[in-house]
């Protein structure tokens, strides 16, 4: 109790509050703009924290991290372009909700679900940081490969009407990420002797092209046909999700938060994998899986709760062992070290009040981010009143700025346009976009980890099934694939009978 009171007095001051508000606002802006990442936001605020005492510094870093994660959902829902890779799964139902005039409730429930997911992950972190950190760190390249394959198996559920087309999308995503330097040997691939191609296709750049460019073409086409859909001012209300709606999502929230926490605790994985896994599980456990992809609330709740829970999960190896799992937590670790805090088991014994204050600042960051986001719902949804063809022009400019800002390269802007062009024709050819995105997100991890595993085993593939964890994920992936094939085989006679009748 003394530790808690000491931590509370350290954490709850005007300086930590101001630092949290500033960090959350910066994170939200960076998260909401496609192309700008929360890692960039963290890199930007880190020097500002140098002169601060350690509580406001930690508060600012955590709020930026959490704000960035939350902001990604805003653009995913309102303009159908995910602000961060973690929000990619939110687009699937969030965009449809916005088109149905439920933008404010979609943003509202995404915020609340994210906040609940984040705080639940904190509870898991507090109760099991030591044990979970040791389990998570035992994940080697072979186990991560199995986890990624399990993640890729969600293509089966996201493929829509045709499994073959879904798999084609996944393979195209993998192919795009093969361009550039190979991650293990540094061999140039498809660079055609140019140095600019060596940097390859950045995930965010590809994601912007994939979602934004086809959207702009469709909006302009609809405008010239005279069929532009305008959302009237009266249609846009500030509406928060009711308690009943939230209560109906309790199992979805709990399941998604657990998935996010566990995935987040494994270094080198992260939000996109967690969000897609949670989305797929939500669809599988739902009484109405047919509503998914058409504006289903659970389809927004699951990815948002899960990707926010990743923040708590990522803190487990960071705080428990001093190991960052991704660039964002690496920057936070840098900030902690600069302020004389060395995360690891010793910190728990020597400075329990600091650990407790980190937990409290984590909760504070979530609450402040949620408040800013919820007050901002009204402002955000007003963006929908702008005629879509005028907004399309702004989206094009923002996509160019975002693509350029990632690596300060106009080459990336060209890549974004090319990916957009290819994506447009693929969509016209009936290839679903989401599997392409899964291929983009998971492809590099799959190649890097599986090749590292094979190098470790001197070429023996048995390394992939050596551990129970690996076997578990391979088994789950196989179950999903077999389940999907059975569903297709069963649905064919029913479909043909319906056609005949």
Phi and psi, residue 188, nearest 5°? -70, 140
Q: Which residues contact 271 (CB under 8 A, 6 or more apart)?
A: 69, 84, 85, 86, 260, 264, 306, 307, 310
- Residue 30 near another protein by CB under 8 A: yes
Provide the minimum distance between the beta carbon of 137 and another protein in the complex, in angstroms, as a whole number: 25
- Distance separating alpha carbons of residues 478 and 378, to the nearest angstrom: 45
The single-letter DSSP state of residue 107 is: H
- Residue 382 near another protein by CB under 8 A: no
Q: Which is nearer to another protein, 227 or 287 (CB)?
A: 227
Closest CA to 320 of 80, 124, 51, 189: 124
Q: Please, which of residues 187-226 interact with another protein by CB under 8 A? A: 187, 189-190, 192, 213, 216-221, 223-225
Q: Which is nearer to another protein, 205 or 253 (CB)?
A: 205
Which one of 81-89, 230-238, 336-344, 452-460 is the stretch in contact with another protein (CB under 8 A)? 452-460
- Residue 465 near another protein by CB under 8 A: no
Closest CA to 441 of 26, 1, 97, 91: 91
Q: Which is nearer to another protein, 321 or 400 (CB)?
A: 400
- Residue 171 near another protein by CB under 8 A: yes
Segment 41-48 long-range contacts (CB within 8 Å, at least 24 positions apart): 41/67, 41/68, 42/68, 42/328, 42/331, 42/332, 43/331, 46/331, 46/334, 46/335
Q: Which is nearer to another protein, 144 or 341 (CB)?
A: 144
For residue 154, give the 3-state DSSP assignment: coil
Q: Which is nearer to another protein, 123 or 184 (CB)?
A: 184
Which one of 237-245, 324-332, 352-360, 400-408 is the stretch in contact with another protein (CB under 8 A)? 400-408
Total residues contacting another protein by CB under 8 A comes to 69
Tally: H helices and E strands in the chain: 21, 2
Helix runs in 138-192, H state only: 141-152, 155-158, 163-176
- Residue 437 near another protein by CB under 8 A: no
Phi and psi, residue 360, nearest 5°? -65, -40
Q: Which is nearer to another protein, 241 or 293 (CB)?
A: 293
Taking CB under 8 A as the criterion, the residue among 397, 489, 494, 497 binding another protein is 397
- Distance separating alpha carbons of residues 222 and 389, to the nearest angstrom: 9
- Distance separating alpha carbons of residues 439 and 436, to the nearest angstrom: 5
Phi and psi, residue 180, nearest 5°? 110, -160
Q: Which is nearer to another protein, 245 or 405 (CB)?
A: 405
- Residue 441 near another protein by CB under 8 A: no
- Residue 18 near another protein by CB under 8 A: no
Q: Please, which of residues 404-433 interact with another protein by CB under 8 A? A: 404-405, 408, 410, 413-414, 417, 421, 424, 428-431
Window 482-501: contact mask with another protein (x via CB under 8 A)? -------------xx--x--
Provide the minimum distance between the beta carbon of 72 and another protein in the complex, in angstroms, as a whole number: 16
- Residue 231 near another protein by CB under 8 A: no
Tell me the β-bridge partners of 189: 180
Place of tokens 């199995």: 146
Taking CB under 8 A as the criterion, the residue among 167, 363, 367, 371 binding another protein is 167
Window 331-370: contact mask with another protein (x via CB under 8 A)? ----------------------------------------
Provide the minimum distance between the beta carbon of 460 and another protein in the complex, in angstroms, as a whole number: 8
Kindly list the distances between the CA atom of residue 211 and the CA atoms of 6, 34, 283, 376, 489, in Å, as whole numbers in the listed order: 48, 10, 22, 24, 32
- Residue 280 near another protein by CB under 8 A: no
Q: What is the length of the chain?
A: 501
Place of tokens 């923002």: 398
Q: Which residues contact 326 (CB under 8 A, 6 or more apart)?
A: 39, 267, 268, 270, 314
Longest dimension (CA), the chain: 75
CB 129 within 8 A of CB 316: yes
- Residue 44 near another protein by CB under 8 A: yes
DSSP for 424-471, written as a single string? HHHHHTT--HHHHHHHHHHHHHHHHHHHHHHHHTTT-GGGGGSSHHHH
Provide the minimum distance between the beta carbon of 78 and another protein in the complex, in angstroms, as a whole number: 17
Q: Which is nearer to another protein, 128 or 191 (CB)?
A: 191
Which one of 196-204, 278-286, 302-310, 459-467 is the stretch in contact with another protein (CB under 8 A)? 459-467
Angle at 26 between CA 236 and CA 80, to 5 degrees: 40
- Residue 26 near another protein by CB under 8 A: yes
Q: What is the CA radius of gyration of the chain?
A: 22
Provide the minimum distance between the beta carbon of 406 and another protein in the complex, in angstroms, as a whole number: 10
Which one of 180-188, 237-245, 254-262, 266-274 is the stretch in contact with another protein (CB under 8 A)? 180-188
Residues that bind another protein (CB under 8 A): 26, 29-30, 33, 36, 40-41, 44, 164-165, 167-168, 171-172, 174-175, 178, 182, 184-185, 187, 189-190, 192, 213, 216-221, 223-225, 389-390, 393-394, 396-398, 400-401, 404-405, 408, 410, 413-414, 417, 421, 424, 428-431, 443, 447, 450-451, 454-455, 458-461, 495-496, 499
């Amino acid at each position: 109790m003394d530790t808690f009171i000491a931590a509370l007095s350290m954490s709850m001051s005007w300086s930590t509050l101001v630092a949290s508000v500033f960090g959350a606002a910066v994170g939200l802006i960076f998260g909401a703009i496609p192309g700008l990442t929360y890692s960039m936001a963290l890199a930007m605020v880190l020097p500002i924290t140098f002169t601060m005492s350690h509580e406001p510094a930690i508060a600012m870093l955590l709020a930026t991290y959490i704000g960035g994660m939350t902001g990604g959902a805003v653009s995913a829902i309102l303009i159908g372009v995910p602000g961060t890779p973690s929000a990619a799964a939110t687009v699937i139902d969030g965009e449809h909700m916005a088109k149905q005039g439920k933008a404010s409730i979609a943003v509202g429930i995404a915020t609340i679900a994210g906040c609940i997911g984040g705080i639940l992950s904190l509870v898991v972190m507090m109760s099991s940081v030591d044990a979970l950190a040791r389990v998570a760190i035992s994940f080697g390249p072979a186990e991560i490969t199995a986890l990624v394959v399990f993640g890729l198996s969600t293509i089966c559920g996201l493929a829509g009407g045709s499994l073959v087309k879904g798999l084609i999308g996944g393979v195209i995503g993998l192919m795009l990420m093969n361009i550039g330097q190979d991650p293990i040997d540094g061999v140039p691939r498809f660079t055609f002797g140019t140095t600019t191609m060596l940097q390859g296709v950045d995930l965010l750049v590809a994601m912007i092209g994939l979602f934004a460019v086809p959207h702009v073409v469709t909006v302009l086409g609809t405008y010239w046909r005279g069929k532009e859909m305008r959302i009237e001012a009266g249609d846009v209300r500030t509406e928060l999700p009711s308690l009943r709606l939230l209560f109906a999502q309790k199992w979805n929230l709990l399941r998604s938060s657990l998935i996010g926490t566990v995935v987040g605790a494994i270094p080198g994985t992260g939000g996109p994998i967690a969000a897609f896994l949670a989305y797929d599980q939500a669809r599988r456990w739902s009484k109405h899986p047919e509503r998914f992809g058409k504006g289903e609330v659970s389809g927004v709740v699951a990815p948002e709760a899960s990707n926010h829970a990743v923040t708590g999960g990522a803190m487990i190896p960071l705080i428990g062992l001093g190991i960052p799992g991704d660039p964002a937590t690496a920057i936070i670790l840098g900030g902690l070290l600069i302020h004389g805090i060395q995360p690891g088991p010793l910190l728990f014994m020597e400075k329990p009040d600091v650990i407790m204050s980190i937990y409290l600042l984590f909760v504070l960051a979530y609450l402040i981010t949620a408040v800013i986001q919820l007050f901002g719902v009204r402002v955000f949804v007003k963006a929908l009143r702008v005629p879509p063809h005028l907004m399309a022009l702004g989206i094009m400019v923002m996509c160019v700025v975002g693509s350029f800002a990632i690596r300060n390269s106009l080459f990336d802007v060209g890549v974004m346009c090319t990916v957009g062009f290819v994506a447009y024709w693929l969509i016209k050819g009936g290839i679903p976009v989401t599997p392409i995105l899964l291929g983009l997100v998971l492809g590099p991890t799959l190649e890097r980890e599986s090749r590292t595993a094979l190098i470790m085993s001197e070429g023996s593939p048995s390394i992939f099934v050596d551990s129970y964890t690996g076997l578990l994920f391979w088994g789950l992936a196989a179950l999903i694939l077999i389940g999907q094939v059975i569903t297709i085989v069963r649905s064919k006679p029913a479909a043909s009978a319906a056609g005949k009748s």
